[in-house]
């Protein structure tokens, strides 16, 4: 980085004969006549890399140059593709010591305009105790401006650390005119991924409110066990089940599909398509132990992402549930992780998820059957707020 800055400064100082010659070389007739030439190809690219490595005016570190090239190449593809050097992997292992903020975030925007949007805040987490809410924008982490970050991974690394470590965040909320600076003390995350409660609508009918905060290990089985217990309690008095996915940032896709499989007896639950639209994988429902009778409503907001979207759209496409709320976030990609010989790792997107009816999720989201503008909130099982009230009202609609 120091060399690059030095060359830029000298270039500004050397405007004159040398600069004129360089400009003539770049924009001269020979180059201008090549406008119709083919785009840059791999052979020419490799030749340019070799020239830099062998002819730059002083020796360069080949590994650093190649790492920088891979990092830049992957970062410009999409927010989920990135390169991690061996040194960065070591730093990640050292920082991943159990301390978390309780935030689920997504890197949004173009270069120079990037911000971290808060998708979810775990209850009773450091972030929750400091008043962060879904929809807030994190503009700075410690001394690093979010606008300068290269990838989602880099942001997540900066938000991790040791239990008890203090982390400064500059946050812009929609309801405050100026950003505020918070000091979060990283801690352990003990929030359950699944919570349930029995609620009533205005007519006195009883429903089960199932809140799924994220999809971690065993979330699917935890959901099914909790629901079965509530069903035994209510028996024939059960009028329906609300699956609350507001602020759910996703997680393990297989766990979301365990829940979808519980309510769908046959057919595709999700599929992935790679280059050229080729189907790479399909996951299908199983008939055993399927609940096809319980009425369902899925409640989602604009921060519901990834695995939560796959669950919502699977139940929607199979006409097992009405989806109520806002169009979801629109994250549905599959990444390949390629380990390189020096210990570095290249991660890049190889496929996108599609619904049972072959609807694209990534960049599109899941459109609700009943659209309701929701105030960003962290749902709590049994609390009948505006979102849950809208979901309960949807049971009265013709299915």
Predicted pLDDT of residue 160? 85
Predicted pLDDT of residue 378? 84
Q: Are 374 and 135 in contact (CB under 8 A)?
A: no
State pTM to two decimals: 0.84
Query: CB within 8 A of 362, min separation 6: which ones?
Result: 330, 331, 332, 333, 352, 353
- Please state, as a whole number, how many other Cβ atoms lie within 10 Å of the Cβ of residue 254: 14
Q: What angle do CA 329, 89, 132 make, to 5 degrees?
A: 40
| Most distant CA pair in the chain, distance | 89
Domain made up of 194-394: CATH architecture: Alpha-Beta Complex (3.90)
Predicted pLDDT of residue 112? 58
Predicted pLDDT of residue 210? 98
- The correct CATH number of 89-185 out of 3.40.50.620, 2.30.42.10, 1.10.357.10, 3.20.20.70 is 2.30.42.10
Give the separation between CA 294 and CA 281, rounded to whole angstroms.
Answer: 29
One pLDDT digit (tens) per residue for the chain, 399 residues: 343 333 333 333 333 444 444 444 444 555 554 556 678 898 989 999 999 999 999 999 998 899 999 988 998 888 888 898 888 787 777 666 678 898 888 887 765 577 888 988 888 889 999 999 888 999 999 999 998 887 787 888 888 888 888 999 999 987 888 999 999 999 887 778 999 999 999 999 999 999 999 999 999 999 999 999 999 999 999 999 999 999 999 999 999 999 999 999 999 999 999 999 999 999 999 999 999 999 999 999 999 999 999 999 999 999 999 999 999 999 999 999 999 999 999 999 999 999 999 999 999 999 999 999 998 888 999 999 999 999 999 999 865
Predicted pLDDT of residue 115? 81
The tokens for 8 are: 């830029």
Q: Are 172 and 128 in contact (CB under 8 A)?
A: no
Domain ranges of the chain: 44-76, 89-185, 194-394
């Amino acid at each position: 980085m120091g060399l690059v800055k030095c060359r830029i400064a000298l270039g500004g100082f050397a405007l004159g004969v040398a600069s004129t010659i360089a400009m003539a070389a770049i924009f001269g007739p020979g180059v201008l006549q090549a406008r119709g030439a083919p785009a840059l190809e791999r052979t020419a690219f490799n030749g340019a890399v070799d020239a830099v490595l062998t002819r730059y005016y002083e020796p360069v570190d080949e590994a650093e140059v190649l790492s920088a090239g891979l990092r830049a190449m992957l970062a410009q593809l999409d927010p989920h593709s990135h390169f991690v050097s061996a040194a960065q992997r070591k730093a990640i292992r050292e920082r991943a010591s159990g301390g978390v903020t309780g935030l689920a975030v997504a890197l949004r925007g173009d270069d120079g305009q990037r911000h971290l949007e808060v998708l979810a805040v775990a209850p009773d987490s450091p972030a929750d105790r400091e008043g962060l809410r879904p929809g807030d924008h994190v503009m700075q982490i410690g001394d690093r401006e979010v606008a300068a970050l290269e990838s989602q991974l880099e942001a997540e690394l900066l938000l991790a650390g040791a239990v008890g470590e203090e982390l400064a965040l500059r946050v812009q909320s929609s309801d405050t005119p100026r950003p505020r600076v918070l000091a979060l003390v990283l801690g352990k995350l003990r929030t359950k991924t699944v919570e349930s409660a029995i609620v009533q609508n205005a007519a006195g009918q009883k429903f089960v409110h199932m809140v799924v905060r994220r999809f971690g290990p065993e979330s699917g089985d935890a959901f099914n066990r909790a629901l079965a217990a509530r069903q035994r309690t209510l028996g024939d008095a059960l009028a329906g089940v609300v699956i609350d996915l507001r602020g759910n940032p996703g997680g393990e896709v297989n766990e979301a599909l365990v829940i979808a499989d519980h309510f769908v007896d046959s057919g595709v639950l999700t599929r992935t398509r790679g280059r050229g639209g080729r189907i790479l994988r399909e996951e299908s429902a199983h008939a055993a132990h399927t609940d096809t009778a319980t009425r369902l409503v899925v409640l989602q907001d604009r921060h519901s992402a990834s695995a939560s979207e796959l669950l919502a759209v699977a139940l929607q496409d199979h006409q097992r549930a009405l989806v109520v709320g806002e169009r979801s976030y629109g994250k549905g990609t599959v990444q390949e992780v390629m380990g390189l010989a020096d210990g570095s790792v290249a991660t890049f997107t190889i496929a996108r998820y599609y619904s049972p009816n072959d609807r694209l999720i990534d960049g599109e989201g899941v459109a609700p059957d009943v659209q309701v503008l929701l105030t960003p909130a962290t749902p709590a099982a049994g609390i009948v707020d505006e979102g849950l009230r809208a979901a309960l009202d949807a049971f009265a609609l013709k299915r």
